[in-house]
Amino acid sequence: MAMWKNRLRAKPGAGSSKARMRATYRGGATHRLLRGDHGSGLVEFALVLPLIASLIFGIFEFGRLGLSHLTARHAVAEAARYAVTGQTFTDPETGEPIARVESIRQVIRDNVGPLTIADSIVVNPPDGGGPDELVTVSVSFTYRYFLPGLENVLPPVDFTVRTAMKNEPFIR
């Protein structure tokens, strides 16, 4: 709805009323859109939103990477603790003892959770070592990004966790 408003061009009493009155047009959709700052907050929000979302998703992914590394360290430490005792698991089907190295690998698989193991569980010495020998357990893990689109931009992160402990004087 258009509005007409009379504006004074000169002080009252200075000349005829026709000379001092001027009609101006106020209103209209175009004028209202151009004159105000309506929507500028929305434009600023649209410009800042991708930056804030990237920051939040980056914190999320970095936290998952840290958790994955911590889980890998925990799994390898548990396997090394198991290795130094000289114990072995028994096969649930046959009741026979499983090889010591396979028992150590099973401890890692039980503690690793959802991480992807690159089939690179290395136990040195290969038989798990004897009493008072140093045993080293090493595992390579692959971290894949959770958020869609990042796997195409960033390569997966491969990391290796290694722990060494001295075997207890166990009796075989």
Range with lowest mean pLDDT among 16-25, 63-72, 87-96, 161-170: 16-25
Q: pLDDT of 93-152, one tens digit each?
A: 888 988 888 889 889 988 887 777 766 888 888 888 888 889 999 998 888 888 877 778
Q: Quick check: 19 pLDDT over 50? A: no
Residue bearing tokens 């009609």? 23
**Is the pTM here over 0.75, yes or no?**
no
In order of start, what are the domains of the chain with their CATH numbers?
Answer: 40-166 (3.30.1300)
Secondary structure letter of residue 112 according to DSSP? S
